[in-house]
Structure 1
């Protein structure tokens, strides 16, 4: 039932776990949510894991976290297989043509929604602008932007109290003191379990797409503050330009697929892993390699969420009292807004125009300042019209994401059949 992204999923969990089932009181639910918002990775899955852990220990956390992801993972892998094999057919091409245009409006809505929450001061708006410039004009990697923003928040911003409106949290309980050696053992166990596939892949397959897939998404799992939208710009940059696993428009197709399936939106990364394995299968059958790529991506992406909860949950309340840490994290959230804005512009260019070239504006000390320039003669008017209709449905008529995607997909199919 968890369509509509993390906000809808968190609201649904609140209604079921707090209001209907009465498994957890309101204040405890909000406390858990505040913890999960601080962590890299999908916060909704982490919240499900946290609630399961709170109710039934590690076994409950594993069951809750896995079952929150598995249905959507099965759907996204099946759709990725259909896309990899049949994407050139008129039916799928038309449907995805419309979905791409709708995703544009969805990403813009994400910029506005997250920006209202995160940009509470001039300092945060300044960081968001710098993050956009760093990505759009300098093509700096996402982890570097996150690191610089965090350091800036740590040293230059006003320390954020846990009770400030930006964080929306209550004062922390500093009384819980777990055994350090036990938590260290838990941490090491989950880290070893998480990284175990990498040497196995390296020994069995050598250098290739699957090893690169695991290495890339394991790194992404550690820096994905701000959810799927924030990391997609960096993933698109690496998967499209460096590894050439996907073409630019196919990243939009993957996001559209993820928007139409239940579960965390970050499942779009399994679509990327599937296409990477499918197009560089090595000795495997392409579909089997694609399935392996999608599963490896999911493992690298979601297992760290269990690490953060099982090893870190007992300490989270103590960390919430650290005002400097909260200042750093609020600065990272502000920078994420700029990253998502870059994603929106990148998607817009590749949806509305079929030909785009990078233009170098300036070169200073080996650093190239460039920007994409569309060929206006290549503008796709049908895509522009569908994007405008999607924006009107979301912003003017307040329609849900599911209905907007369905209408846009049908419009795209009609456009491809008629034009």
Structure 2
């Protein structure tokens, strides 16, 4: 069976530009990444319908590996065939890989992460807003980092290689074994999954997966909130309940203020994600630098 679409649903160059724009907004883990594709491809550009987007997402949730990248490959294949899937999947990974390589190199060279920590102090609340938005978007529409570790590990123990060569090789190898199999899963399985799209029984079963997706994203949002806004947690153990809860006494006023600003920019002002991330990163940098003696 061929995996090629009969023709480009949209012009290929236009699709490449769109996937590049999406790749620059892949923050917040799978939840935020799926939300970006939902907003860009379904709501703004209307290149793919909501039902078909959900069908692809449900299939990708069944596969091992990074489901957001698999979804990008699937939608890219639907829009422009194999070359569309290759471009979408590659662009989806490339910016994040380069960013992590750069951050890893900064850490290895200077061993001083104060600036990076300051930037992420602002980006964390912005990501929390992104994930919260993802919960709302996916729920409303649907119910009808290992690279850094590999780089540092290979740098510390490169064997007979130069430490930088070993670090780069370790990071690239991790990226390869994590993301390359996704292309095979989609190109081999998507044609059969598309044939089942109008099968009522299969569609009903896959729809149940969407509910699980919403639950996973909601759990991720709570995790982000707990570790972004609070400095410490405690275990609540009472009868059948065994919960890890944030300690209210350790709430961070700065993180809370930046989070409120990020939520306003996301839900009220509806600013683009890159603008929100940039402003929040600057806010985090400013607050950390101003707090220094």
Q: TM-score, normalised by structure 1?
A: 0.51
For residues 280 and 164 of structure 2, the distance between their equivalents in structure 1, rounded to whole angstroms, comes to 29
User: Is 2:235 the counterpart of 1:358?
Assistant: yes
User: Is 2:271 the counterpart of 1:399?
Assistant: yes
Question: Contact conserved, 2:118 with 2:284, CA < 8 A, in 1?
Answer: yes
Query: Which residue matches 1:348?
Result: 225
2:270 is paired with a residue whose SS is coil
- Cα drift, residue 289 of structure 1: 5.3
- Cα drift, residue 291 of structure 1: 3.7
Structure 1 residues 90 and 390 mapped into 2: Cα distance closer, same or farther (>3 Å)?
Answer: same
- The C-alpha deviation readout for 1:142-174, integer Å capped at 9, x for no partner, is xxxxxxxxxxxxxxxxxxxxxxxxxxxxxxxxx
Question: Contact conserved, 1:81 with 1:290, CA < 8 A, in 2?
Answer: no
Q: Which of 118, 124, 127 in structure 2 is aligned with 1:94?
A: 118
Query: Which residue matches 1:378?
Result: 250
Question: Contact conserved, 1:278 with 1:286, CA < 8 A, in 2?
Answer: no
User: Is 2:64 the counterpart of 1:36?
Assistant: no
Q: Which segment drifts farther, 296-305 or 332-341?
A: 296-305
Structure 1 residues 109 and 317 mapped into 2: Cα distance closer, same or farther (>3 Å)?
Answer: closer
What are the ranges of 5 or more consecutive residues in structure 1 without an aligned counterpart?
A: 20-25, 121-270, 364-368
1:320 is paired with a residue whose SS is coil
Query: Which residue matches 1:274?
Result: 148
Query: Which residue matches 1:116?
Result: 140
Structure 1 residues 336 and 321 mapped into 2: Cα distance closer, same or farther (>3 Å)?
Answer: same
For residues 39 and 258 of structure 2, the distance between their equivalents in structure 1, rounded to whole angstroms, comes to 29
- Cα drift, residue 412 of structure 1: 0.6
User: Is 2:260 the counterpart of 1:418?
Assistant: no
For residues 296 and 350 of structure 1, the distance between their equivalents in structure 2, rounded to whole angstroms, comes to 30
For residues 69 and 298 of structure 1, the distance between their equivalents in structure 2, rounded to whole angstroms, comes to 12
Kindly report the root-mean-square deviation, in angstroms, between the aligned alpha carbons of the 2 structures: 3.3
For residues 273 and 33 of structure 1, the distance between their equivalents in structure 2, rounded to whole angstroms, comes to 28
User: Is 2:79 the counterpart of 1:79?
Assistant: no
- The C-alpha deviation readout for 1:299-357, integer Å capped at 9, x for no partner, is 33432332233322332332113222212221111111111111111111111111112
Q: TM-score, normalised by structure 2?
A: 0.71
- The C-alpha deviation readout for 1:127-155, integer Å capped at 9, x for no partner, is xxxxxxxxxxxxxxxxxxxxxxxxxxxxx
User: Is 2:195 the counterpart of 1:321?
Assistant: no
- Cα drift, residue 378 of structure 1: 2.0
What are the ranges of 5 or more consecutive residues in structure 2 without an aligned counterpart?
A: 1-20, 26-32, 61-66
For residues 187 and 78 of structure 2, the distance between their equivalents in structure 1, rounded to whole angstroms, comes to 8
Q: Following superposition of structure 1 onto structure 2, how do residues 331-346 of structure 1 map, counting pairs within 5 Å?
A: 331-346=208-223
The alignment of Structure 1 onto Structure 2 pairs a total of residues equal to 249
